[in-house]
Amino acid sequence: MREFKVNANDAGQRLDKYLTKSLPLLPKPLMYKSIRKKKIKVNRGRAEPSQLLSEGDTVQLFLAEELFEVTPDNIFMKIVPDISVLYENSEFMLVDKKPGMAVHGGNTSGSVLSAADESGTLINHIKAYLWRRGEYRPEEERSFAPALCNRIDRNTGGIVIAAKTAEALRRINEEIKRGEVTKKYLCAVHGRMEKSSGRLSGWMEKDSARNIVRVHSGQRKKPHGKTMITDYRVLAEQNGLSLLEVTLLTGRTHQIRAQMQAAGHPLLGEGKYGVNRDDRKRGYRFQALYAYSITLEGKSYTVDMNPEKIKFLKEFDKCIL
């Protein structure tokens, strides 16, 4: 028999969800059967799959030992963290991600990351940072690990939210769904915008095989198409480029990159939507896009506007925000 104690990060979950995360080797049919046969109990009493766990509860498991034999994912323990923390408190942190760093592992830009790339992901660097500070103890967690609340493309730099606790993860994700988190970007696009400020509206059709989206105007014609709405204002014009501040009203895949290309103004350095070889000659390997500002829970946070970091700002004499 094994006994798990429910901690603060585990609390508030259904029993079946908790078990699925805690025991990945436990088949779901066997889990439900074990609950029904009282081989899985809560506080030594009969349990239900849907019952919500509270901090301090104990879960008794009368299961085969091999179901507990899980090798922890400890790749982050080998990492010397290299992240720029913009803000942090006991619940969450804001990290200024470097262009070129993937936020997480798995399928990225149509290819599976190598082991080296996996170790270099933002989430693993965040885990390493928190583990070294004693704020993340994986041996004490059954169903939670620090997680990202938002994502940005590998080759886009800027602010990413990371939750340190399960409660913060749930709360911030709900705030994002309700549209209470405002994200602003800086970008440099080719050409001169027709208006000093405006709104780009359309709907997207995703090509998962090629990891691109197509933007359409007018009424949505496909059931799986999603609306895309982006506000912009021009900050400066120089060198055949326009510097824009962009506010996302929806958060879709490659939204800014795809909508700007569809509007006839592809981003400087863009390699997927509107490739411009001359941009590469100018030294731009990545799209000129930076998530520079975020408003979260009533407070605004902005990255340092240093042209040495946000390199495309060098194209303009001034940036009026």
Give the pLDDT score at 116.
Answer: 46
Contact call for residues 279 and 267 (beta carbons, < 8 A): no
The dihedral built from the CA positions of residue 153, 159, 161 and 162, taken in this order, carries a sign that is positive
Question: Which has more pLDDT, 295 or 70?
Answer: 295
pLDDT at 133: 95
Q: What mean pLDDT do residues 111-128 have?
A: 73
pLDDT surpasses 90 at 244: yes
Residue of 67 and 222 predicted with greater confidence = 67
Q: Look at residue 107 and tell me whether its pLDDT is greater than 50.
A: no
pLDDT at 112: 45
pLDDT of 316 reads 94
b/e burial code for range 286-297 (CB count within 10 A of at least 16 → b): bbbbbbbbbebe
- Position 209 pLDDT exceeds 60: yes
CB atoms within 10 A of CB 68: 13
92, 168 contact by CB (below 8 A) = yes
Predicted confidence (pLDDT) at residue 60 exceeds the cutoff of 90: yes
pLDDT for the residue 141: 86
Q: What's the whole-number mean pLDDT along residues 71-83?
A: 85
pLDDT value of position 182: 94
Q: Helix or strand or coil: residue 257? A: helix
Q: Which amino acid does the sequence have at 287?
A: Q
pTM for the whole structure = 0.85
- pLDDT for the residue 196: 95
Average pLDDT over residues 209-233: 83
Spatial neighbors of 102 by CB under 8 A, at least 6 apart, are 108, 113, 117, 120, 121, 122, 154
**pLDDT (mean) for 60-84:** 87
DSSP state of 71: -
- Choice among 14-18, 91-95, 116-120, 316-320 with the minimum mean pLDDT: 116-120
